[in-house]
Amino acid sequence: MNLDTPLNALKWLPLQRQRQLERFGLGTVGALLTHFPKRYEDRNQFDRFPSGDTAEPVCVCGIVKKTSVRRIRGSQKMFDVVLEEEAAHALSPPLLCRWFNAHWVEKMIIHGQRLVVYGKPKPSGSGVVIAHPEFEVVEDDAEVSIHLKRIVPIHPATEGLSPRLLRALIWEVLERLCDDEVEPLLPATLDAMPRAWALRQIHFPESWARRDEARRHLVLCEFFAMQVSIAAKRAEQTAQPGAVHATGDALMRRLHAALPFPLTGAQLRSIAEIRADLAAPRPMNRLLHGDVGSGKTLVALSAMLLAVEAGFQAALMAPTQILAEQHYLTLRHLCEPLGLRIALRTAARTEQSGPLPLFESSKEIDDPHILVGTHALLYEGAGFSRLGLAVIDEQHKFGVMQRARLRDQGVAPDVLVMTATPIPRTLTMTLYGDLDVSTLDELPKNRGKIVTAARDAAKLPEAVKFLREHLAAGRQAYIVYPLIDETEKLEAKAAAGESKKWQELLAPMKCELLHGRIAPEEKDAIMERFRRGEAQALIATTVIEVGIDVPNANIMLIENAERFGLAQLHQLRGRIGRGEHKSYCILLRSAKAEGEALEKLRILEETSDGFKIAEADLQMRGPGDILGTAQSGLPPLKLGNPLADHELMRLARNAAFLLFERDPQLAAPENGRYRRVLADGRKLTLSQVS
Ligand code: ADP
Ligand code: MG
């Protein structure tokens, strides 16, 4: 018997059980043994019976003294079990366990049984009650070594497969498992612990220390399998033939020379990294990330110019229409003096800047040099004739699928993925593990300082006074209000209300209103008027999160700030601090805001370092939110947590990449086993992609 053995080959396992396990997704010995415990109970030493509520759940053992069922409110039923502590220290008052409408529990618990109970106690009347505890009837002394007097695993269970049953099954399987048949997965240099030992200890640990060692090994196995498939993909990409998409840099130099500022060191470094990729005859797969305002657009455009000069088309794809339009305007502004044709293709608009004389190659005359659009460009066969570089602006999302799509079209352009916010290193290793990374970790020098202050909404009059002073001195302001309802009617109403309110508060200053329901041409006109200083305040929803760039606007006031996400607030705040004036971001919070919402605002007051904020955001939201999505294309991790275990991820990644560096084909006999890891990992990892 080894890990691949299907459970239906186990003669001792009743057919009905096999079926149940299969339905639960556990079809092989390996699947069963990697069905890891969700928690453990130290049944060497139970907690004492609680005398009030406790911060943590308790795990206690007692004898059932009394059970009773009561009807409450019509057909509702309440089942009470009185549990007494066993003789040795029967000093505590009995504990009441209570279930509502739990028919199956009523049938399981009877007077005189010994019960292990886990849950959070609450004081009730004169005693203590645990509502709907997890519980287990401990009945058979022969099984004591599995279910009692040890650290006992509690596995995720399902109907008909209780934790107790799963525990017994896994015990049985481990009893029969031959350690020699469990191949090591990891290079010995990474971790030499036998995997079978780790599997035994994760389920039935001798001690907490053993459990931790076992977990470390198994997390490394999981991460290593993931990184091996990422490394394999990278090795494959590197081996693929691609075209040379950069030759000269005259266009790019002209662009840079026309800028009123020098590029930052980080921009120059990133451009050099990208240029080397473009010039190499293999496909580029690179991530460009950096803080808000770090100048990603210019880096992307520089790359596009290199491709254009080499005779190729470049495309820029944005996640939303408004962002695509914004990019289009920016690029047109920068590129038309260079004589390039830029086209915008979105669902709503198609626009081409007319053919310009400088780049006349007769047969390409209606062929844009640069195509800007939404991600839909990928699906509509946008009519690329010779796409050399695709820049994918993902904002907060992950374009794993999009990247795949691009390759599916038979073209293998160089790909630059751009994100609106910095990504913590922890995540670039996993989510973007198959990409090279360029980081803009430096803001342009001319950036003014931003002071951020969170204030109670009641302080609005003071904020208004502050605003008025600055507007009177010639500055401009953004006022952001949260979109409360997405429906068109209510949105318009909320916007109109906000607009009226602010117009009155700031009179005689001129306010303009901007929100998502305004037609694109009108939107452009409004932004243009604001840019020219014809309006002093722009009242807006988060549409201003993207692209707007008015250096003279140095104040941002955000109402109900606690409703926005941390990364989003940082992105919004990035609209100010773009000129030489000191900037102010006022976060108004409602009186009801508490807990995490306040913590969020505190972080923003404390730092404007996008990398720190991204990390904090990740900590607060947890990796599940980010990694758990199917669209991330990553395998569901069973044990490891890329955040908490990021050091292990780093180790696993280094080991996997070293392996492929030395033996890209895994041809050496001693590397044969990794081909299996790879095959297994492929099943899970990036399968939607390759
Ligand atoms: P982001 O990285 O947030 O996308 P952008 O590319 O939108 O940043 O750039 C923000 C603003 O900074 C733009 O107005 C851009 O022209 C300007 N900018 C870009 N690079 C520099 C630089 N090196 N020095 C000064 N301003 C710059
Ligand atoms: Mg940008």
Q: What pLDDT does residue 520 have?
A: 73
In a domain, 260, yes or no: yes
Nearest to 186 by CA among 214, 220, 143, 159: 220
Q: Which two tokens stand for residue 574?
A: 């990035």
CB 488 within 8 A of CB 518: no
Choice between 267 and 419, residue whose per-residue pLDDT is larger: 267
Lowest mean pLDDT, pick from 151-160, 426-435, 545-554, 680-689: 680-689
The atom of ligand 1 lying closest to the CA of 418 is: 4
In a domain, 537, yes or no: yes
Domain count, the chain: 3
Give yes or no for residue 253 having a pLDDT over 90: yes
Q: Which residue has the tokens 């690179």?
A: 286
Give yes or no for residue 183 having a pLDDT over 90: no
Ligand nearest the Cα atom of residue 574? 1
Q: What pLDDT does residue 144 have?
A: 66
CA of 318 to the centre of ligand 2 (A): 10
CA of 345 to the centre of ligand 2 (A): 19
Which of 338-352, 450-464, 560-574: highest mean pLDDT?
450-464
CA of 293 to the centre of ligand 2 (A): 7
Average pLDDT over residues 19-46: 93
> Confidence class of residue 297 from pLDDT cuts 50, 70 and 90?
very high
What is the Cβ-side half-sphere exposure of residue 490, based on CA atoms within 13 angstroms? 6
**3-state class of 508 per DSSP?**
coil
Average pLDDT over residues 6-23: 93
- φ, ψ dihedrals at 96, nearest 5°: -100, 125
**3-state class of 194 per DSSP?**
coil
Sequence-distant (6+) residues with CB within 8 A of 595 are none
Give yes or no for residue 2 having a pLDDT over 90: no
Q: Which residue has the tokens 């695509």?
A: 324
Percent of the chain past pLDDT 70, that is, above it, reads 86
Q: What pLDDT does residue 647 have?
A: 92
Helix (H) or strand (E) holding 373: strand 370-374
**Do 399 and 545 sit in the same domain of this protein?**
no
Question: In whole angstroms, what is the distance from residue 502 CA to residue 495 CA?
Answer: 11
Give yes or no for residue 439 having a pLDDT over 90: yes
Average pLDDT over residues 379-397: 73
Lowest mean pLDDT, pick from 196-205, 215-224, 355-364, 443-452: 355-364
Q: Which two tokens stand for residue 499?
A: 């607009």
> In this structure, which residue's CA is closest to atom 17 in ligand 1?
295
Lowest mean pLDDT, pick from 413-417, 480-484, 534-538: 480-484
The reply to whether ligand 1 has any atom less than 6 angstroms from the CB of 457 is: no
**Do 603 and 455 sit in the same domain of this protein?**
yes
Ligand nearest the Cα atom of residue 291? 1
Lowest mean pLDDT, pick from 464-468, 650-654, 685-689: 685-689
> Confidence class of residue 272 from pLDDT cuts 50, 70 and 90?
very high
Q: What pLDDT does residue 214 have?
A: 97
Letter string b/e over residues 554-569, b meaning 16 or more CB atoms within 10 A of that residue's CB: bbbbbbbbbbbebbbb
CA of 580 to the centre of ligand 2 (A): 19
Question: In whole angstroms, what is the distance from residue 94 CA to residue 587 CA?
Answer: 51
Q: Which two tokens stand for residue 684?
A: 């899970």
Residues in the chain, total: 690
Q: What pLDDT does residue 453 have?
A: 95
In a domain, 578, yes or no: yes
SS3 of 559-579: CCHHHCCHHHHHHHHCCCCCC
CA of 444 to the centre of ligand 2 (A): 14
Sequence-distant (6+) residues with CB within 8 A of 488 are 517
The atom of ligand 1 lying closest to the CA of 446 is: 25
**Do 406 and 503 sit in the same domain of this protein?**
no
Question: In whole angstroms, what is the distance from residue 61 CA to residue 148 CA?
Answer: 10
Q: What pLDDT does residue 87 have?
A: 65
Choice between 569 and 359, residue whose per-residue pLDDT is larger: 569
CB 184 within 8 A of CB 7: no
> Confidence class of residue 51 from pLDDT cuts 50, 70 and 90?
confident
Question: In whole angstroms, what is the distance from residue 175 CA to residue 124 CA?
Answer: 45
Q: What pLDDT does residue 354 have?
A: 42
Question: In whole angstroms, what is the distance from residue 265 CA to residue 535 CA?
Answer: 35
Torsion from C-alpha of 676, 678, 684, 688, nearest 10 degrees: -130
Give the N- to C-terminal CA distance of the chain in Å, as an integer: 33
> Confidence class of residue 15 from pLDDT cuts 50, 70 and 90?
very high
CB 567 within 8 A of CB 289: no
Question: In whole angstroms, what is the distance from residue 321 CA to residue 372 CA?
Answer: 10
Q: What pLDDT does residue 395 have?
A: 57
**Do 435 and 550 sit in the same domain of this protein?**
no
In a domain, 471, yes or no: yes
Quote the pTM value.
0.76
**Do 424 and 507 sit in the same domain of this protein?**
no
The reply to whether ligand 1 has any atom less than 6 angstroms from the CB of 551 is: no
Torsion from C-alpha of 86, 87, 88, 92, nearest 10 degrees: 70
Point out the domain boundary residue: 108, 129, 149.
149
Q: Average pLDDT of the chain?
A: 85
- φ, ψ dihedrals at 237, nearest 5°: -60, -40
Lowest mean pLDDT, pick from 203-212, 441-450, 469-478, 643-652: 441-450
CB 81 within 8 A of CB 66: yes
Most informative mutation of 298, 394, 419, 572 for ligand 1 (most atoms within 8 A of CB) = 298
Give yes or no for residue 685 having a pLDDT over 60: no
Percent of the chain past pLDDT 90, that is, above it, reads 48
In a domain, 689, yes or no: no
> Confidence class of residue 387 from pLDDT cuts 50, 70 and 90?
confident
Angle between helix 208-239 and 195-203 (nearest 10) = 130
β-strands 58-72, 76-85 pairing: antiparallel
The reply to whether ligand 1 has any atom less than 6 angstroms from the CB of 256 is: no
CA of 260 to the centre of ligand 1 (A): 11
Helix (H) or strand (E) holding 265: helix 265-279
**Do 467 and 597 sit in the same domain of this protein?**
yes
The reply to whether ligand 1 has any atom less than 6 angstroms from the CB of 293 is: yes
Average pLDDT over residues 3-26: 93
**Do 332 and 396 sit in the same domain of this protein?**
yes
Average pLDDT over residues 67-84: 90
> Confidence class of residue 339 from pLDDT cuts 50, 70 and 90?
very high
The atom of ligand 1 lying closest to the CA of 440 is: 2
Which DSSP string corresponds to 407-420? HHTS---EEEEE-S
The reply to whether ligand 1 has any atom less than 6 angstroms from the CB of 302 is: no
User: What is the C-alpha radius of gyration for the chain, rounded to an integer number of angstroms?
Assistant: 31
Most informative mutation of 287, 297, 392 for ligand 1 (most atoms within 8 A of CB) = 297
CA of 76 to the centre of ligand 1 (A): 63
The reply to whether ligand 1 has any atom less than 6 angstroms from the CB of 391 is: no
**Do 433 and 455 sit in the same domain of this protein?**
no
Give yes or no for residue 690 having a pLDDT over 70: no
Sequence-distant (6+) residues with CB within 8 A of 396 are 419, 420, 421, 567
Q: What pLDDT does residue 74 have?
A: 81
Beta-carbon neighbour count of residue 398 at 10 Å?
A: 21
Sequence-distant (6+) residues with CB within 8 A of 279 are 244, 245, 246, 247
Query: What's the CATH number where 617 sits?
Result: 3.40.50.300
**Do 497 and 426 sit in the same domain of this protein?**
no
What is the Cβ-side half-sphere exposure of residue 604, based on CA atoms within 13 angstroms? 32
> In this structure, which residue's CA is closest to atom 13 in ligand 1?
295
In a domain, 225, yes or no: no
Which of 615-624, 649-658, 667-676: highest mean pLDDT?
649-658
Which of 47-56, 490-499, 544-553: highest mean pLDDT?
47-56
The reply to whether ligand 1 has any atom less than 6 angstroms from the CB of 247 is: no
Average pLDDT over residues 47-61: 88
> Confidence class of residue 300 from pLDDT cuts 50, 70 and 90?
very high
CA distances from 655 to 78, 222, 353, 670 (A): 56, 13, 50, 15
CB 122 within 8 A of CB 130: yes
Ligand nearest the Cα atom of residue 270? 1
Give yes or no for residue 564 having a pLDDT over 90: no
Q: What pLDDT does residue 142 have?
A: 65
The reply to whether ligand 1 has any atom less than 6 angstroms from the CB of 438 is: no
**Do 481 and 550 sit in the same domain of this protein?**
yes
Q: What pLDDT does residue 481 have?
A: 85
Q: Please, what sign has the CA dihedral across residues 108, 113, 116, 118?
A: positive
Give yes or no for residue 539 having a pLDDT over 80: yes
Q: What pLDDT does residue 383 have?
A: 63
Which DSSP string corresponds to 127-173? EEEEES-EEEEE--GGGHHHHSSSEEEE---BTTB-HHHHHHHHHHH
Average pLDDT over residues 679-688: 50
**Single-letter code of the amino acid located at 269:** R
Q: Which two tokens stand for residue 462?
A: 């003071």
**Do 454 and 436 sit in the same domain of this protein?**
no
**Do 409 and 501 sit in the same domain of this protein?**
no
Question: In whole angstroms, what is the distance from residue 105 CA to residue 159 CA?
Answer: 12
**Single-letter code of the amino acid located at 478:** Y
Query: What's the CATH number where 105 sits?
Result: 2.40.50.140
Q: What is the pLDDT of residues 119-171, one digit of tens each?
A: 999 998 888 999 999 999 887 666 667 888 889 999 999 988 999 999 999 99
Point out the domain boundary residue: 92, 116, 149.
149
β-strands 414-418, 342-345 pairing: unpaired
Full domain range(s) for residue 426:
250-440
Question: Strand ranges (DSSP E) for 193-335?
Answer: 285-290, 313-318
Point out the domain boundary residue: 593, 623, 653.
623
CB 593 within 8 A of CB 562: yes
